[in-house]
Structure 1
Amino acid sequence: MKLTGEDVRAFVLSLPETAEQFAWGMPIFKVAGRLFLTLPEEETSMAVRCPIIDRDELVQAEPAKFWIADHEAGNAWVRVRLAALDDRAEMTAIITDSWQLAAPRALLEQGER
C-alpha cells in the first residue's frame, strides 16, 4: 500500500483542534496553533515532531524511511518518506505521536476522560 499526502491530510484533520495552512511553499498542520506536521517534497514525505534522541535512533535504524533535513538538524523534527511506511497504522502512530508532542496539556487531558 502506497500512502500519499491525501492519506496523511485525511488522518491529520480528524485529530482534535487541528487546522491546515500553507507556509514555506507547502501544507502545514497545527494543533491549537502549534505546528506539528508539514508535507514537504511535493507531499511525498512528512516532517513531524520527534525528540532528538529518538529521531537519531530512528534515522540510524531505518535510513530509507527516516532522515533529517539539514535545516532541522538542531530541532526535534524528523522527515518520513511516505512510500517507505509499512502501512496506515504506522503512519497514524507517527502522526499521533507528533500531535501529542505539540498539543496543549489541557487538550490531551480531555482525551483521557
Structure 2
Amino acid sequence: MVTVADVRALAHTLPRSSEHLIRDRVKFRVGSLVYVAFSRDEASMGFGYPKEERDALIAAEPGLFCLPGASDLRFNWVCCHVARLDQQHMTELVTEAWRMCVPKFLARQRLGR
C-alpha cells in the first residue's frame, strides 16, 4: 500500500514540484498546475492523465482506477484507490502526471527520451 509520505518522497525529487495543503487536502503542483491530489481521508489519489486514454485505463483495472467527480471530468484527471496501489505503479503514475505539467526539456533531463 502506498501512503502520502511515499508520494511526497517521490514528488520532492521532481524539479519544480511543490506541496500544498488546500482545504485539508494534500496536493502536488508544478506552478499552478496540480498533478496529484489526495482525498481528505487519503484513501484516494487523483492524478493527471490524458482524457483520451482514461476510459481504457479504468476498463483495464476497474478495481484500482475510477473516474473523477463530475466537476473534474473536463480535466486530464483520473482517480485511484490508494490501498490497491503498489509502489512501482505509483511511481509511474506520479512521474507521468508530473511530466504532463513541465516543459519537455525538463522532462527529458529527468526521465531521458
Normalising by the residue count of structure 1, what TM-score does the alignment of the two structures yield? 0.85
Taking only the aligned residue pairs, the percentage that are identical comes to: 31
Contact 1:4–1:44 under 8 Å retained in 2: no
- Structure 1 residue 35: deviation in Å? 1.7
Structure 1 equivalent of residue 76 of structure 2: 76
1:37 aligns with 2:44: no
Aligned counterpart, 1:21: 20
Aligned to 2:5: 6
In structure 2, give the amino acid aligned to 1:57: A
- Per the TM alignment, residue 106 of structure 1 is displaced from its structure 2 partner at its CA by 3.8
Q: Is the 8 A contact 1:36 1:49 kept in 2?
A: yes
What is the total number of aligned residue pairs between the two structures?
Answer: 111
Alpha-carbon distance in structure 2 between the residues aligned to 1:46 and 1:60: 18
Shift of 1:109: 4.1
Counterpart position of 1:48: 47
Structure with higher helix content: 1
SS in 2 for 1:42: coil
Q: Could you list the runs of 4 or more consecutive aligned residues of structure 1 that deviate by over 6 angstroms after TM superposition?
A: none
| Structure 2 gap segments, 5+ residues each | none
